[in-house]
Structure 1
Amino acid sequence: MKKLVFGIATLVAITSFHSCQKENISASDSKITQQKANSTIRSANGELVFEDEAHFLTSLPHLAEMNDADRIAWEKAIGFESLLSIEQRIMEQENQRIEKFFEGVDPGLTVAEYEAMGLYYQPSEEYLNYLQTGVLERLEEKDGSISTRVSVTDPSFHYVLGASRKVHVGDQLYEFNGSVLKVYDNTGAIVKEIDYNSQEKLNGEYNFTRGIGPSGNRGGWINDPARGSDYRYRSFVTFSSSFTTSSLSQSYYWYARAEQRRFGNWATRNNYLPIWGFQASWKFDYWVIYNGAPYGTAIDSDSPSNMLNNSSGYATSPYGLSNLNTNYTVRYLYPHGLYSINPATAGFSFFENVRIYSNSYSSSFTGGASGYSFVLYN
């Protein structure tokens, strides 16, 4: 009567940007996650191919929790390089070139001050090629400093997209351009188009992003209170949900990243690993109509009749992480996925999306309890 499958809307829940060092994972844990990923994923022409949506979704947390060395080794073994790995590799090369170019010069000056000294840095050809082909974006900030990011704005896709920004899931092709995802069937016809920057709430959609930062900039960058304006970090939780009479889909994840500025360029750097931990608790509910009756029944996370089985290993409430010592992380939270039914045989249908309530989140940096803890706000 009930079957758990996974859908497109859950793609948003996977965290943007490259990592110079991920959380420490034991060798045995890393081998387990690598084996799970290997059993469900292959590569064709530099693009990942997943057997179906269930395999796609269940692979995501395993890829995210690999340490860098194992993830890169796995990618090489199957002939794939993710956006995460591309940005990580290119920016490490750029960091080394920048350090050599500005050797002996004060690293804390502005770009304008370097140029006044006759120092005009030129990026590598490979870096410029990725800019030209739209894989990377180069941003000039208010003070003239430069930051680089992957062009796909949602960090949750960066483990599974390569330079083409395409991934094959079953008989469908997902293609990203910035924040827009287009889904094609096997005839090449577009079957769905989603703009993940859109705040429209269609078909009962419910969503929020909660992050650190000043009002109006939740999830934006803030300066490290211990180190000053050349160090910054960000952290946010994103949840979205939508429904039809026969399905509920939701995506839910926590993301954090830290950067250091040197010689006018922002980047994640291995000598700056301030992301320490994450504490969270939440409840959720949704509504169904039984046997076509004109009334609804609430099903919540504590109910024995909850139909959203947590079979995929996502973190459940309450959830806590500590001692991460990293500059980039993504964690998937529950509920996450698409739950589908056949109302005619199940005797009920959905009539409202999943709603997260009674929730609290905090991210800690630079030494956990002895450092800085930030509550995540709307």
Structure 2
Amino acid sequence: MSTHHDQTTGSSFTALTRQVHDLGLMRRRYAYYWTRLVGAVVAMAVWVLTVVWIGDSWWQLVPAAVLAVLMTQIAFLGHDAAHRQMFRSGRMNDWVSLVVANLLVGISYGWWQSKHTRHHGNPNKVGYDPDIAPGALAFTPEQAQRSEQPLVRWLVAHQGWYFFPLLLLEGLSLHWEGIHRVAGRRRVDRRWVELAFLTTRLAGLPVLLLLVMSPVKVVAVLAVQLALFGLYMGLSFAPNHIGMPLVAPGLKLDFLNRQVLMSRNISGGRWMSVLLGGLNHQTEHHLFPSMARPHLRRVQPLVVAYCAAEGVRYTQTTLWTAYRDVISHLNSVGLKDNDPFLCPLVASRRALQVTGVTSLPPG
């Protein structure tokens, strides 16, 4: 991109940032977050009492499903704290994240923070964003060509259809990644705190269940909770970037284009914000990652107007359209009949406009 454009964009984005600060949109929302943190603890206590009250019954599958939803909503709070949205003190945010992620949800805060920080620095950039690293799914045509086995190639070609069923295993994967990171040889800040919290959470839940129901029911409850937790987490995070353009390793973009072009917002208003924990305002979150969740919807009109003035594509769809795009994108990559990359030639020009895609107003 030209130096002139970088300077212009940087200058105007500084003006937008100043406007955001002047409107008080970067101020902390202590009452909002304290209410939710206390509410999370109370909800967990009520859940435990409910499980004890129900006793040895197959009705325990109902609170198992409730726990999956509760764990995901609490995980959203951990995400906010990790982004320094709750408190001015970094140390306070860290400890809240440790308690929320490790002790309540059972995910390693250190592992997640490292991974998520790299994602925010280079969303959808091949070789830099761990969220599109090779794994159970292929996110690039090169990844789709990893195996010559016909069965594997067929599965990759249809990966969009089994992506959502695969999310049923995501909860188990999140717990395992946390244990693997904390118990491994790599350097981990507060290793013993993380290990103690994870052990308490991951061992404490089965012990509690065994005290009130038969082992068979315990297995069933844990299976339902883990499956639905993983599904809910995956359904919340998948629309953010999957199906948006990928960035080639050698392509350099300025901050605005790097964060906006690869992010997708979900329309639906406040109820969607509750359902997705504020992740529906993905573009605003990437531009202002330390902004408190309630302010994201308020800053959206400013960001939409700013992107329109800069000629930068702003994407917002319904949730169902986003899921359809996720399935279509993954299948297209698997079939290698679609170029998912942001065109370097287009990226080198000022507008970076894509035919048929326009800036959308707030939902």
TM-score where L is the length of structure 1: 0.25
Structure richer in strand, relative to its length = 1
Structure richer in helix, relative to its length = 2
